[in-house]
Amino acid sequence: MADIGRLLDLLWQDYMALNRQVRTVRGLLEKEGETVVNDHIALRTFDDSRVGIDALAGAFVAGGYQACGEYDFVQKKLFACHYEHADPALPRVFISQLKLAECSAGLRQIVAELLEQVPADLPGRWDFPVSGRTWNVDYRTYEVLADESEYAGWVAAFGFRANHFTVLVNALKTFDGLAALNAFIKQSGYPLNDGGGEIKGSPQSLLEQSSTLADQVPVDFTDGPHTIPACYYEFARRYPTADGKLFYGFVASSADKIFESTDRR
């Protein structure tokens, strides 16, 4: 068991290496004099007991994280949990999973074949959350999955790794709120996911979020490389609850639209 800091660092390094826009946007913010604080990290998986939320959360729980909230996404057939660490400096972890029982028999069959390729010892390993894709998959199979569930296609193509990190807007000094940050991101050449409006949520719901559209990256499928949407960068502004502490949960109706940042367009 390596320490939790090493796992979080590996997740960040893997995410930065895969997504050029993240390196660029982070660099632009630092050029403005900002120190970027990560609000949360999100991971995706299937609700099979070998690799589901409980399995994927294992390394985080072993590192001191605790389950804090549950969320349902009926239309996307997703369920999610968020985890918090006693050390408030560590980002929250948001893990979602696709409810396979609600998907077609064809999708379930494909996912079963992918999961059979997962090494048996992988789910118990401390670096499982950053192990990437541990199966062979061809581009046509990816398309079949993504046509039914963009989420399933993404997991099949990218496997176990950070789907996104999120900048905590409250910790920025030179931007007066999320709208100002959004304007800066767009001026820098990165379009935002405007499904449901650029800003999801409101001060009343205690959380405002926005996100870029995912980078297009070449992925090696068994039949050669194809360019598909990878990861996006998210921005979150949190508001205090009645007791004066920042709300650290999530808002399902907002997250629902954010998931679409990795859709093929």
Binding positions for Ni ion, rule: CB under 5 A = 42, 166, 234
What DSSP assignment string belongs to the chain? ---HHHHHHHHHHHHHHH-HHHHHHHHHHHHTT----EEEEEEEEES-TTTSHHHHHHHHHHTTEEEEEEEEETTTTEEEEEEEESSTTSPEEEEEEE-GGGS-HHHHHHHHHHHTTS-TTGGGSTTGGG-B--S---HHHHHHHHHH-HHHHHHHHH-BSEEEEEEEGGG-SS--SHHHHHHHHHHTT--B--TT-SSEEEGGGTEEEEEBPPPEEEEEETTEEEEEE----EEEEE-B-TTSSBP-S--HHHHHHHGGGG---
CB of 182: closest distance to Ni ion in angstroms? 15
Residue 163 beta carbon to Ni ion: minimum distance, rounded to whole angstroms: 8
For Ni ion, the closer of residues 141 and 211 by Cβ is 211
Nearer to Ni ion, 78 or 110 (CB): 78
| Least gap, CB of 218 to Ni ion (angstroms) | 25
Of residues 108 and 249, the one with the C-beta less far from Ni ion? 249
Smallest distance, Å, CB 98 to Ni ion?
Answer: 17
- Angle formed by the axes of helices 4-18 and 20-31, nearest 10°: 100
If the CB atoms of residues 103 and 258 are measured against Ni ion, the closer one turns out to be 258
Residue among 38 and 166 whose Cβ is closer to Ni ion: 166
Q: How far is the CB of 211 from Ni ion (least distance, A)?
A: 7
Residue 165 CB, nearest approach to Ni ion (Å): 8
Nearer to Ni ion, 12 or 126 (CB): 12
